[in-house]
Structure 1
């Protein structure tokens, strides 16, 4: 049985992958990468490498995709297949850096993080995302908490240009993105696809920034297809 390591995004935990894991069923052994114990993307990547088997498939969503690229930088020989989902290999623009700093300031001072989590849904999911998905995401954000959000946002803010990793990737790679992602638009995934040799690009219609929870059956099908490539 293949092992698939799944990396959550910023402010997320394994719940963001729960529906996709259920859709994969018993076909694959799924492990959730720890992104809550380190202050840098590289530190997260090293911890995941320490916890993972010698060889494994890898999928990361949003910030998790950035961590996945750090793993590809550190130990490409250990990764058999790679999925990069709604992520961004570019460094932040000045405007995006200012946005992250402001977000950290607001979150660090808020006394009602749940309300902040509810407000963020407009950027995270498609307008037609069902209520149970929205409720699940809010509960996940509250559970992970404001401190983890701020710490992870600083790690993302400090990243370099991850595009330099892409041309050297030799593992079969799927680039997956929600068609209506407002946080990391399709153009960013097209850039990753263009720079990654032999990669495939999949745009999921009617989906926002979090396909693993918004469209788990579609993501599971794409991951199953990827795992058959060698």
Structure 2
């Protein structure tokens, strides 16, 4: 595989907001299909995670990753709504010059991907959903419940309630809330695999947190006080005709297996892949298997 250096651009949306966008795999082969990958955790995550996850496809795809408005290096300017984030994806699709593309969403990015698929199925070659859910209230309450009952965690209960209900006091409140829950995202220690999870080495980047990351509580609050309680596509899953791969870690306590099973059961002809040794991110927990499963799926849609 020939290494193709990513190019970083600032792309302006129709309302003047600038997004930090990175294209990987752009070269003279303009016929390569486009894959747009969405990060999770608005106001916390950045394009770092999807870049690390999907760069391996750059010899056969143009991979586009970006910091959503309100996250990372993009403008901290709302509205922070699913409709607006979906419109931003549409603008980036056109900017990339693609009529159709593969959309991959992880965690909160999966919510956006599902809403996009309901609205714009005609634009999709394929849909990849990784560790996500189809119903917001049930999902956020389940995640909070699992956090508050996990023996590995020692959390400030009131602060976690503020995080998951979208009522953070300020950015500092957000910054203090995240480190205390990091272990719940990892799979249990398994000596037959790669050994114990290292506190900040392996987990620091799981949500795309890097030197550009900025805790933006306004984005998180909008996402979890307004967007998530209104998000429910369970009755619309049957209308998604796009070839779909659903991936989940067996030990995911943020978006548990039953949520992915519900999505896979609802989308006709979809494929469910459960990663037995993974937590919230099989792409990092079982990288080799994840890449093979991804390639097997993508070969069926291009």
Asked if these proteins are the same fold (TM beyond 0.5), I'd say yes
- Relative distance call for 1:138 and 1:117 in structure 2 (3 A) is farther
Question: Following TM superposition, by how much is the alpha carbon of 1:144 offset from its aligned partner in structure 2, in angstroms?
Answer: 3.4
Which has the higher mean CA deviation after the structures are superposed, 76-85 or 124-133? Answer: 124-133
Inter-partner Cα distance in structure 1 for 2:142 and 2:276: 29
Corresponding position of 2:130: 85
TM-score (norm 2): 0.67
Relative to structure 1, the CA distance from residue 95 to residue 47 in structure 2 (aligned partners, 3 Å threshold; closer, same or farther) is closer
Partner of 1:21: 54
- 1:216–1:49: structure 2 CA closer, same or farther, 3 Å change rule? farther
State the distance in 1 between where 2:239 and 2:274 align: 23
Q: Larger RCO: Structure 1 or Structure 2 (Cα < 8 Å, ≥ 6 residues apart)?
A: 1
Contact 2:175 2:215 survives alignment (8 Å): no
1:16 Cα deviation after fit: 1.6
The match for 1:108 among 143, 148, 169 is: 169
Q: Deviations 1:78-121 (Å, cap 9, x if unpaired)? A: 0001111111002314982995762243x434636544222121
Q: Post-superposition shift, 1:200?
A: 0.6
Residue 2 of structure 1: aligned partner: 33
> Counterpart of 1:44?
85
Matched, 1:192 2:263: yes
1:20 and 1:217 in contact (8 A); partners too: no
Larger relative helix fraction = 1
Alpha-carbon distance between aligned partners in 2 of 1:160 and 1:112, rounded to the nearest angstrom: 25
* Match of residue 135, structure 1, among 204, 209, 227: 204
| 2:63 aligned to which of 30, 33, 40 | 30
Match of 1:162 in 2: 233
Distance in 2 (CA, whole Å) between partners of 1:111 and 1:224 is 40
CA distance in 2 between partners of 1:3 and 1:138 (Å): 23
Q: 1:216 to 1:46 in 2, by over 3 A?
A: farther
> Where does structure 2 lack aligned partners over 5 or more consecutive residues?
1-31, 71-78, 145-159, 190-196
Distance of 2:110 and 2:181 partners within structure 1: 20
Closer/same/farther in 2, CA of residues 166 and 112 from structure 1, 3 Å limit: closer
In the other structure, the counterpart of 1:181 is 252
Work out the CA distance in 2 between the residues paired with 1:134 and 1:109: 24
Q: How big is the alpha-carbon RMSD for the aligned residues of Structure 1 and Structure 2? A: 2.7
The TM-score with structure 1 as length reference comes to: 0.86
Structure 1: tracts of 5 or more residues without a match:
none
Distance change >3 Å, CA 219–CA 194, structure 1 → 2: same
In the alignment, which residue of structure 2 is the partner of 1:146?
Answer: 216
CA drift at 1:210: 2.0
User: Counterpart of 2:292?
Assistant: 221
Q: How many residues align?
A: 229
Q: CA deviation at 1:12?
A: 1.2
Find the structure with the greater CA-based Rg: 2
